Amino acid sequence: MLTAAALERDKVRGLRGGADDYITKPFSSEEFLARGETSLRRASITPEGSESLVYQDAEITIDYPRHKVAVRGQTIELTPTEFRLLATLTENAGRVLSQDQLLDRVWGQDYVESADVVRLYVGYLRRKIELDPSSPKLIETSRGFGYRYRKP
């Protein structure tokens, strides 16, 4: 939270209400950046027993923390958007995700451009991971609904 309310009860209420941090005005840019870096470090640490840091199936291996992807044993280069799209699809393997769901999860809720960007990036991704992009087996189109990653 970033606020002018600097009383202890305000801070306690904010933190108990779900805020990860509480910054009161005025603040320096150095403090703001340091707190942001700390939050990012905390967010990137995955406790044991929670989500896996690596996704793997017969075709693809994704090392999430390192943003590395191998397809059939060969490392491939993905743009950050392609990586987020593939990660979102594989994290939901077998489930159809609509274009709106993919827009929210990959591009963010504030994205206001055309949903055609999803179709465009699915095409980019298929060219990089499919044996035959014109006849995709990994990223399937569910006509009228969206896209699904089909775990081999």
What would the mean pLDDT of 17-25 be, rounded to a whole number?
75
Per the prediction, the chain carries an average pLDDT of: 84
Look at residue 49 in the predicted model and tell me its pLDDT. Answer: 42
Range of lowest pLDDT (50-64, 70-84, 137-151): 50-64
What would the mean pLDDT of 65-78 be, rounded to a whole number?
94
Please tell me the distance from the alpha carbon of residue 137 to that of residue 143, in angstroms, as a whole number.
Answer: 15
What would the mean pLDDT of 28-34 be, rounded to a whole number?
79
Look at residue 2 in the predicted model and tell me its pLDDT. Answer: 78
Look at residue 79 in the predicted model and tell me its pLDDT. Answer: 94
Higher pLDDT, 48 or 4: 4
Is the pLDDT at 62 greater than 90? The verdict is yes
Is the pLDDT at 96 greater than 60? The verdict is yes
Domain layout of the chain by residue ranges: 2-44, 79-149
Fold of 79-149: Arc Repressor Mutant, subunit A (1.10.10)
CB 122 within 8 A of CB 139: yes
Look at residue 39 in the predicted model and tell me its pLDDT. Answer: 65
Is the pLDDT at 132 greater than 50? The verdict is yes
Look at residue 68 in the predicted model and tell me its pLDDT. Answer: 94
What would the mean pLDDT of 70-90 be, rounded to a whole number?
95
Is the pLDDT at 148 greater than 60? The verdict is yes
Peptide bond into 80 cis (omega under 30): no
